[in-house]
Structure 1
Amino acid sequence: MSTPVPGVPASATDPRAPEVAWRRMHPITPALKGWKALIALLAIVAYNMTDNIRNIGELMQDGRWRYVVAVVLAIAAVGFAYATIAWRVTKFVVDDEAVHLHTGVLFRQQRQARLDRLQAVDIVQPLLARLTGLAELRLEVAGGTGSAVSLAFLRESDAEALRAELLARAAGIRVRPDEAPAARAPEQPVFEVPMPRMLASTLRSSTTGWFVVFAVVIVASVVATRQIAPVFTLVPALLGVGGAMWTRVNQGANFRAAISPDGIRLRHGLTEARAQTVPPGRVQALRFTQGPLWRGPDWWRVEMNVAGYGGEKNQQTENVLLPVGTREEALLALWLVLPDLQVDDPRALLAAALAGSGEAGGFTSVPRRARLLDLVGWRRRGFLVTDRALFVRYGRIVRHLVVVPHERTQSLALKQGPIQRTLRVASIDVHSTAGPVHPMVEHLDQDVAAALLDEQTERARTARAGAGPEQWMRRPEAS
């Protein structure tokens, strides 16, 4: 009997296993990847040339610019040739256990994304890929930094079909080689963010507020000193604010959320379109945030921790469940993750959690002596435990609410610094997967904190024991 080799399909080592068909990326892939090296080279040349205007004039007069162009073209040719060779040696195959990917020109690399550890499947379309009808399929797998597997680039329809196949296999549905699962499972739209609201919320963001404060200080300085020089410091600040605003609008544009049998579907993006599918039960924690400039329209932003996304650089894109929404839409976002809160009035619970303070809504608040550790927001601090999740509320100027399903609690720790010991308070750190949400219940009475640690540990253990299977759509075997 042959022994399975990690990262290699069974057919490669077991002659009795059915043959698998290796697939390649789209033939245009080298062109989409090779241009990046050319752009980088041109940027370096432009930077060095503009550093000294005289050099540009000398090149133009002596005709040496031809040599520069020749070098650029030669390097571009080498870059495209390398991208073509890399495309030729890159191949992948899908079986019932994993996606196997072979890459590398000088150094060969074999990677696999186990389907039982699949956390999310994204379809990403940068601008050039959208123009050519191609897409990148990105598989997020539990395992921390570097665990993502990227298949770039595929025809958009092929990427959709492959995503459906992977989600079906991950859900426990056996797919025969001659079968082609539907590219899209039926879905139910939940909410979408109108573009005018996206623009208005960006203008009302804290970035804009800090820029206004900075501008007022600069203008006051100019008036007081009668010197115009401080005005020029506004230029880099203005560029930074403009870049931050554009990033938020570009990533949140056309944001839509839907629910389907294969998970939560999120679509968003202006110049780079992204379609995310997060399978059921893979969201580890949620955070609701409301800045002071969002109080009037009562808007909220909802972020999430998803195992596999923690190591990614662009968490602002992938970890957003709702970029800006009304309180009703915030409740819908919570419903996507926890369809049944197992409480009589979910709206009343959310109202107390988002905007309440003290003991309102059944929350356990921090003792009055803890105000020395949080002079402004100590009355907002508190927690509430339901049969489904732990709710943690904090923040007076910027309101926050963190929700952690019991079965998604990784571990807990009680922390007490020297000042906290003096005040007889302590904090509970609820460990979650890496991401923007860091659940922590701070400054509780030390006896309450100790009791919460024990009770929450037992709740997490019981919830994990009763959680559904990882392969959520697999039918029970007939007895």
Structure 2
Amino acid sequence: MTTTPEPAAGAALDPVIAAGAAEHRLHPMSWLFVLLQQLRHFVLPLVVLFVFGRGDRNELWGLIGVGVLALVSVWQYFTYRYGVAGDRLVVRSGLLERSLRVIPFARIHNVALRQSLLHRLFGVAEVRLESAGGTRPEAEMRVLKLQDALALESLIRRRGAEAATAEGASAGTPRALLSMPLAEVVRLGLISNRGMIVVGAGFAAVAQFDERLLGDGMEWLGRRIAGSVDLAHFGPRDYVLGALALIVAAVAALRMFSVALALLQYHGFTLSEDGARLTVERGLLARLRTSAARRRIQAWTLRESVLHRLFGRRTLSVDTAVTENGQQGEGRALRELAPVATPAACDALIEHLLPRARWRELAWQPLATRHWWRLWWPSLLVAGALAAALGWRFGAPGALVLLWLPWSALVARRHLRHAGYTLDEHVIAVREGWWSRHWRCAEVDKLQALRLAQNPLDRRCGTATLWLDTAGAGPFSPPLRIRFLPAAEARALYDALAARMAARPMRW
């Protein structure tokens, strides 16, 4: 966050936003949206309080906090001001404890516009301005008129001309690079596993509020199923078929739930380019619009699971040098350029947005396949321990767990056959996996840290692992690393990359 002296009175303001006025308030209904945003965190606890509470009046003291939040929301509306002065955005807030923030447009790396269903009904939007550093956004405006929010986004895009100058591009008419029709959104839902994640989180939340509720519910369901089975006089074959039918029904229900979530989040997904800036817009009920300069992209990741291959699709995501307030789940930073697309479409996006990589012409260096056993031995230890425990409990049938070992050995060998890396003057890329594959690429000039590591097995085998780090990497991003390199080769790569990092000027 940048704080500088106040701009001089009468500083010229951009006509797109200011229209000659020095300062502006938020939308007159912004206090309501701030209040609803705060109350959202209290809705579930209040429901649980009234449903499962024991009637103790002391439990209602928390409602005082809700009243305080209402006053704070109104207070924020009357004390929040913003204005544009030259190449800076000026934000004032507070009355008793005043705050003045002067934010240069060049510092703003991402502009996120969010519209919930209620926002769309009122014709307003929430604006979030993010930078590459800090744990909070530079400014968060709840809420602005939609036309004012779009004008502010356009202003920041134009005033961030240093990004376009750095890449030799100029702003023009936005051009669509990728759009997802309804069929592609449905494929995304079938490929993803969002339904299982949400259901698991729901079970965890219920268990937190009442430990017996989840157990009692499962027990009731089990009794109903057992009663139905007893009345039907099932035989062994019927038990097997019934169990398989339940599994298939559960998987189908979760996939349908995933499709519904994908429709809510990615309906109308569009990736567009305006000069040196990329913009993503998506959402069915709540619309999210986020943009970032191309040069803020730090790393590229291609993912391909078994289901991706079944549908002939891949996922392309990027790491950008912006903060997400420590919340990856908010999904406001520019992350997914292609939530699901054909391999040719993903390759074309990388070729267009990162032409120096020459993605289709990369010469991949394979890794030594003789080290496959180092990926396999953890499975050997786990399977051996499980076989011993189950054999002690159930006897010889417990040894069936060992049948997993040939499959895990095949996966380890295939993993190393597919693994590789490539390094040239501009980019470094790695690929890993076989059952589920990923490719990760970064520009050499954007590497932030290097680490050469050797564990006891590396020292025994004469190998090393080179770890590379970039800014903006998410917690679920695959690591950018090269494993099982000969120690001398790893050291040479480390020295060459370290020399290039030391010689380049410091910049984001």
Q: TM-score, normalised by structure 1?
A: 0.74
User: Partner of 1:304 in structure 2?
Assistant: 318
Q: Structure 2 counterpart of 1:333, which letter?
A: L
1:403 shift after superposition = 0.8
CA distance 1:380–1:254, shift in 2 (3 Å) = same
Asked if 1:198 is matched to 2:195, the reply is no
Q: Deviations over 1:142-180 (max 9, x none)?
A: 11422442122111111111111112222149xxxxxxx
CA distance in 2, matches of 1:337, 1:428: 27
CA distance in 1, matches of 2:186, 2:491: 45
User: Partner of 1:23 in structure 2?
Assistant: 24
Asked if structure 2 preserves the Cα contact closer than 8 Å seen for 1:315 and 1:435, the reply is no
Asked if 1:142 is matched to 2:132, the reply is yes
CA distance in 2, matches of 1:239, 1:102: 50
CA distance 1:112–1:423, shift in 2 (3 Å) = farther
Asked if structure 2 preserves the Cα contact closer than 8 Å seen for 1:7 and 1:100, the reply is no
1:411 pairs with 427, 449, 452, which one? Answer: 449
CA distance 1:372–1:105, shift in 2 (3 Å) = farther
Asked if structure 1 preserves the Cα contact closer than 8 Å seen for 2:196 and 2:254, the reply is no
Secondary structure in structure 2 of the residue aligned to 1:11:
coil
User: Partner of 2:151 in structure 1?
Assistant: 161
1:271 pairs with 272, 276, 285, which one? Answer: 285
Q: TM-score, normalised by structure 2?
A: 0.70
CA distance in 2, matches of 1:285, 1:43: 38
Worse overlay, 112-121 or 250-259: 112-121
CA distance in 2, matches of 1:388, 1:242: 43
1:289 shift after superposition = 0.3
User: Partner of 2:329 in structure 1?
Assistant: 314
CA distance in 2, matches of 1:403, 1:108: 45
Q: Structure 2 counterpart of 1:93, which letter?
A: G
CA distance 1:143–1:331, shift in 2 (3 Å) = same
CA distance in 2, matches of 1:453, 1:429: 9
1:372 shift after superposition = 2.4
CA distance in 1, matches of 2:480, 2:306: 22
Q: Structure 2 counterpart of 1:27, which letter?
A: P
Task: Map residues 304-383 of structure 1 onto 2, 5 A cutoff.
Answer: 304-309=318-323, 311-314=326-329, 316=331, 318=333, 319-341=335-357, 343=358, 346-347=359-360, 349=361, 362-374=363-375, 375-376=412-413, 377-383=415-421
Q: Deviations over 1:395-419 (max 9, x none)?
A: 1111100010122111212111111
Q: Structure 2 counterpart of 1:286, which letter?
A: W
Task: Map residues 95-114 of structure 1 onto 2, 5 A cutoff.
Answer: 95-104=85-94, 107-114=97-104
Task: Map residues 43-442 of structure 1 onto 2, 5 A cutoff.
Answer: 43-51=44-52, 79-104=69-94, 107-172=97-162, 185-206=172-193, 246-309=260-323, 311-314=326-329, 316=331, 318=333, 319-341=335-357, 343=358, 346-347=359-360, 349=361, 362-374=363-375, 375-376=412-413, 377-436=415-474, 437=477, 438-442=479-483
Unaligned stretches of 5+ residues in structure 2? 14-20, 164-170, 199-221, 230-235, 376-411
1:116 shift after superposition = 2.6
**Number of positions where the alignment pairs a residue of Structure 1 with one of Structure 2:** 413
Secondary structure in structure 2 of the residue aligned to 1:287:
strand
Worse overlay, 75-84 or 239-248: 239-248
CA distance in 1, matches of 2:495, 2:330: 32
Asked if structure 2 preserves the Cα contact closer than 8 Å seen for 1:262 and 1:277, the reply is no
Asked if structure 1 preserves the Cα contact closer than 8 Å seen for 2:190 and 2:258, the reply is no
Q: Structure 1 counterpart of 2:292, which letter?
A: V
Asked if structure 1 preserves the Cα contact closer than 8 Å seen for 2:185 and 2:259, the reply is no
Q: Deviations over 1:224-262 (max 9, x none)?
A: 997999x99999999987766544442222111111114
Worse overlay, 394-403 or 422-431: 422-431
Asked if 1:9 is matched to 2:25, the reply is no
CA distance 1:18–1:323, shift in 2 (3 Å) = closer
Secondary structure in structure 2 of the residue aligned to 1:305:
strand
Secondary structure in structure 2 of the residue aligned to 1:270:
coil
CA distance in 1, matches of 2:102, 2:257: 37
Asked if structure 2 preserves the Cα contact closer than 8 Å seen for 1:281 and 1:337, the reply is no
Q: Deviations over 1:48-87 (max 9, x none)?
A: 22226x96xxx9xxxx9xxx9xx97x98766444312211
CA distance in 2, matches of 1:428, 1:321: 28
Secondary structure in structure 1 of the residue aligned to 2:23:
coil
Q: Structure 1 counterpart of 2:23, which letter?
A: W
Secondary structure in structure 1 of the residue aligned to 2:425:
coil
User: Partner of 1:457 in structure 2?
Assistant: 498
CA distance 1:128–1:420, shift in 2 (3 Å) = same
Q: Deviations over 1:14-59 (max 9, x none)?
A: xx9668822211111012222345555554343122226x96xxx9
Task: Report the aligned-residue RMSD.
Answer: 4.1
CA distance in 1, matches of 2:96, 2:257: 38
Q: Structure 1 counterpart of 2:272, which letter?
A: A
CA distance 1:85–1:144, shift in 2 (3 Å) = closer
Q: Deviations over 1:309-336 (max 9, x none)?
A: 3533326553111100111220233135
Q: Deviations over 1:125-156 (max 9, x none)?
A: 12211111111121110114224421221111
Asked if structure 2 preserves the Cα contact closer than 8 Å seen for 1:190 and 1:332, the reply is no
Q: Deviations over 1:377-401 (max 9, x none)?
A: 1122211123331111111111100
> How much identity, in percent, do the aligned residues show?
20
User: Partner of 2:35 in structure 1?
Assistant: 34
Q: Deviations over 1:245-301 (max 9, x none)?
A: 544442222111111114111111222211122113110001100101111332111
CA distance in 2, matches of 1:417, 1:388: 30
1:120 shift after superposition = 1.4
Worse overlay, 243-252 or 299-308: 243-252
Q: Structure 2 counterpart of 1:365, which letter?
A: P
Q: Structure 1 counterpart of 2:51, which letter?
A: T
Secondary structure in structure 2 of the residue aligned to 1:10:
coil
CA distance 1:363–1:43, shift in 2 (3 Å) = closer
